[in-house]
A and B are shown apart, each in its own frame.
Chain A
Amino acid sequence: MQNLQDGLIVVAKRDCPTCVLIEPVLAALTGGGEALNVYSQDDPGFPGSIDSVIDDRQLEASYHLDIETVPTMLRLKDGQEVGRVVGWERQEWREFTGMAELGEGLPEFRPGCGSLSVGPGMAERLAVRFGDLNLTSRRVEIGAMEDEVEALYERGWSDGLPLVPPTEERVVRMLAGTTREADAVVGIVPPDLAECTVEKVAINAVMAGCKPEYMPVVIAAVEAALMEEFCMHGLLCTTMFSGPVVIVNGPVRNAIGMNSGMNALGQGNRANATIGRALQLVIRNVGGGRPGQIDRSALGNPGKYTFCFAEDEEGSCWESLAVERGFDVDTSTVTLFAGDGMQGVVDQKSREPESLARSFAECLRVVDHPKLAMAGDAVLVVSPEHERVFRDAGWSKARLKDELHTLLQLSGVDMVAGERGIAEGLPEKFRGATVPKFRPDGLHIVRAGGPAGMFSSIIAGWAASGEKGSIAVTKEVGT
């Protein structure tokens, strides 16, 4: 930028009544002992009483001087700021300049006006134009005749839905949502095993439609997906249905307005929709995981666009998923589960917990296939009206889990391959055995949903759950 000269600097604009009010003060300062430079944000002809007003309509000086209010007066010595006064307070200006008569006849105090450099959206625009940005991603220039949204499709960056164009301004704004440095490495993303920086997460979060305040959750979700035990590589490559399901716990849910209530697993909430989508876009664009290429899913599932929701902790009589997994109730977390789509559990008649638990067990039994066991994990999403049945009976979540575990001890004789006229099934060695449907710790219970409807939901897990494939992981949301 242009060199700022030592001495007094005043930044003002004609549109500010306080700046107009103090025009005689500025004229008086030009006759003082110190050099004075006046920068005008909106009209280089203002103040008319000053001969050489410096035109700052580009707001470069205002940006570099970090001006929030006009008028602002500051003093530079050896290129360094040594003091500033903001707005008009007569005594302060007199002391600052050492001119005892300054502003005689003017009111003692008038507040200043907002600097044009901090108007809505302006901070990011100026940061892009004048700032010392450390954004290292390749700049992709779009032709003058190209449609922006079509251009993003053509470059292969989209999941099939339109993307928000990742301009420098938007990415700068997104990065303001996290304290992490843009060049900090979040992890290595499969299948290309490419390094993923916070900047790349931010670009994909912009495209997904995230707000900057979602960034810590998106980063945590990416970190969780890249944990070894989550096995994102295998999850992406599988011919099965699964993709990452993001379950959010803790204060951040409400802070960013996530939906844990009515239609929690459905559409309509920006945070739910875009956080899950941002994670998928990181896998697609940074990791190179694309359907039909490394992603070999036979059918996929709609959740591979986005599958993210919050737990209704306030409405639940049970400890949250995160608390069960060892986190404090005041800690925000994301839990990632390798999940297929969802299947409903309709039970409008059970009023006793034993009955409803049996309903859950019958429905859980079909995860993967009724004759398979210890393959896919599952998340059972219990709605308020179903939870009420357990609440009224005083059943803890642990009690319900124990009951389900008991009910899901299955007789091997019915499950071995070929039995019941179905070739699929467990190996013959299980014929005489009692077989648990889920591996230990393979069934998770969360509470979400709207107030009406005796319906819960089962999110079946990847059939390669556990040590051989994916284990659910929880990561604390940072800043």
Chain B
Amino acid sequence: MSENRIFLDPTSERVPDQRQRQPRPGSLAGKTVGVLDISKARGNVFLDRLDTLLAGEGITVKRYMKPTFARPAPTELLQQIASECDVVVEGLAD
């Protein structure tokens, strides 16, 4: 049967966008660094240390936290980080 050789695509038929990464800053001097804790156990251990090291170099650090690691970050939180920071470090831990 010729029609059996045509299948219907079961996927969303999406083609992923290829986007350029934001240019990396050459230096963190004068930048504000966001540190995002996703609420995974012990993620704060790593991020606290990072915070200390960055602050020690005179860099402004702002801390953020997702309500739960199991769900995507709320849009308001993403907007807040984007408006307040130049770069962000997101900590995943277990």
Contact = CB atoms under 8 A, between A and B. Distances in A.
Given A168-B3, A239-B94, A468 B68 contact: yes
Given A169-B3, A192-B14, A239-B94, A234 B71 contact: yes
Interface string B1-24: 001111111111110000000000
A349 interface: no
B70 A195 contact: no
Interface in A195-218: 195-196, 199-200, 203-204, 207
B25 interface: no
A137 B70 contact: no
A238 interface: yes
Contacts of A157: 10-11
Interface stretch (A33-41, A82-90, A283-291, A363-371): A283-291
A128 interface: yes
B11 to A, nearest CB: 5
B5 A203 contact: no
B10 A203 contact: yes
A234 B10 contact: no
A140 interface: yes
Contact of A203 (B9, B14, B69, B72): B9
A148 interface: yes
A141 B6 contact: yes
Interface residues of A, number: 47
Interface in B61-94: 67-72, 94
A135 B8 CA distance: 9
Interface range for B: 20 to 34
B7 A140 contact: yes
Contacts of A140: 6-9
Contacts of A152: 7
A203 B11 CA distance: 9
A236 to B, nearest CB: 11
Contacts of B3: 125, 128-129, 167-169
A128 B71 CA distance: 42
Contacts of B72: 233
Q: Which 5 pairs between the two chains have the least Cβ-Cβ distance?
A: A194-B12, A234-B70, A469-B70, A138-B9, A468-B68
Interface of A: 125, 128-129, 135, 137-142, 144, 148, 151-152, 157, 165-169, 171, 189, 192, 194-196, 199-200, 203-204, 207, 231, 233-235, 238-239, 281, 285-288, 464, 467-470
Interface of B: 3-14, 39, 67-72, 94
27 contacts: A137-B13, A140-B8, A140-B9, A141-B7, A148-B5, A157-B10, A157-B11, A165-B4, A165-B7, A167-B4, A169-B4, A192-B14, A195-B12, A199-B8, A200-B12, A203-B8, A233-B72, A234-B70, A285-B12, A286-B11, A286-B12, A464-B68, A464-B69, A468-B39, A468-B71, A469-B71, A470-B70
Given A200-B12, A467-B68, 16 more contacts: A128-B3, A135-B8, A137-B8, A138-B13, A144-B5, A148-B4, A166-B7, A167-B6, A171-B8, A196-B12, A203-B8, A231-B70, A234-B68, A234-B69, A234-B71, A468-B67
